[in-house]
Amino acid sequence: MAVSTTALARIAIVLGTADVLHAFAIMENEDIFKKTACPAFLMFENAAYLADMSFELPCNCKPEEVTSVVWYFQKNMGSQQTKVLTDFDGTLMIDSSHIKVGSDMLRRFSIRMFSLIVFRVQVEDSGHYICGTKKGDFFYGYDVDVQASRGIVVAFVDKDQHPRKDHDESHFMVFTIFWDWTRCNRCGVRGEQRRIGLCYINSTNLLKRYHTTVVDVASCGSSSVPKPFRRVAQKRKAEVVIRSCMTPCGQKSSEEGEASISDVISKLGEKPWISSIPIQFHKQHLGRGLIIACPGARPEHAVAWDKESTRMYLTRFLIGVNKTMRVFIDHGNQLHIRFAQLNDKGTYFCWRQGQLVAGFRLSVVYESRHKRSLDDPETQYAIKTILTSYVLITILFVSIHIVRCCLYSFKCTAVK
């Protein structure tokens, strides 16, 4: 093929990192619309993201007299089902901290300075996003491909594991384009770095209505990929490569002799066991599940978790490393504890972008019986188990008596 994986690796920032790292940056209201003319025929720019990430789609062109835009979403081009992602004033704002996985799409978007921002994007959000007006005038379009994090392929460099090789067919090639390495997720101690890779395809048969950063290269889930190629392309999952790293902690220390006496006295009076980071307290019932998120962290951030002085490295705690894991970290950097046990109690520390940012003091307690209700999952499970056992025992009891009656009837018939 004309385009190699090595050459394509240089555009990884353009395809993903730049959009994600600046997802919440507000663009200045320049006269860019005077410089950029809208195409006479609506084109779609290809963009790919990993599930649970947040991204921004700028409306790159519009007439000067248009003061507000309307964003439309279509799953498939030409479909009769179209979602209108706006309040028709172009001023809809939401608090991203309230966005949760599984929220409806209309609750996960915001419009800022003509740009559409989608929070915690899901695989079903893949499709066509069009910038236009309430009257139905279309200016600019995006072909967004959201690739699933479930089933993602993980390679640990420390274990001498490597990314998958390119898959070459007669008319196309499927490969992975990796973003830049993240920051080291810890400082002062051994940390880890991640490098996310998304699936792309190289073919001269891509539909020409879709604009791509590199000619004849598009993400595997793009609508520009011909249907005969999609089955092979969709089999290739996203990838993540993890390696160890070491970086010093940046300390703001004053020059020798400049520290005031009050600073020295205050430091002498500090208690070494009281941390300067915020600590949250949580009481968890024994046997229940718990998910802890690092404050202010996004899936593309470098995040690490520690329990007390124990480092929870991804080589041991990343989801999928062991199928029977009870405590693990997912690809969205959240810490999961299934069926909390008494030895789970303690303080969990969260690192974000190489800085220790928060702590969670977890206590595990027994749940009193009088607090049980029919809404509890454990109560519902117990009821279902009891009812199922009762039905099985009843069926077995009836079956035994039917067999006995049949045997008795057979014996009576044989005697006569």
Reported as a single tens digit per residue, the pLDDT across 342-366 is: 999 999 999 999 999 999 999 998 8
How confident is the model at residue 322, as a pLDDT?
82
The answer on pLDDT for 47 being more than 50 is yes
Q: Looking at residues 40-68, what average pLDDT do you find?
A: 85
Q: Are strands 279-285 and 138-147 parallel, antiparallel or unpaired?
A: unpaired
DSSP state of 269: T
How confident is the model at residue 3, as a pLDDT?
46
The answer on pLDDT for 206 being more than 60 is yes
Q: Looking at residues 290-295, what average pLDDT do you find?
A: 91
Give the pLDDT confidence of 126-144 residue by residue, as tens digits: 999 998 888 878 888 999 9
How confident is the model at residue 378, as a pLDDT?
64
Q: How confident is the model at residue 177 (pLDDT cuts 50, 70, 90)?
A: very high
Please determine whether the domains at 5-243 and 277-365 fall in the same fold group of CATH.
yes
The answer on pLDDT for 186 being more than 50 is yes
Share of the chain above pLDDT 90, in %: 37
Residue 407's SS3 state is helix
How confident is the model at residue 329, as a pLDDT?
93
Interatomic CA distance for residues 227 and 154, integer angstroms: 28
Number of Cα atoms under 13 Å in the Cβ half of residue 97: 3
Q: Quick one: CATH architecture of 277-365?
A: Sandwich (2.60)
Give the pLDDT confidence of 212-271 residue by residue, as tens digits: 888 899 999 999 998 888 888 888 999 999 999 999 987 543 333 333 333 333 333 443
The b-or-e profile of 52-62 (16+ CB within 10 A means b, else e) is: bbbbbbbbbeb
The mean pLDDT value of the chain amounts to: 78
Q: How confident is the model at residue 324 (pLDDT cuts 50, 70, 90)?
A: confident
Give the pLDDT confidence of 265-286 residue by residue, as tens digits: 333 344 343 457 889 999 998 9
The answer on pLDDT for 17 being more than 60 is no
Interatomic CA distance for residues 190 and 306, integer angstroms: 12
Domains of the chain, by residue range, sit at: 5-243, 277-365, 380-415
Domain at 5-243: CATH code: 2.60.40.10
Amino acid at 337: I
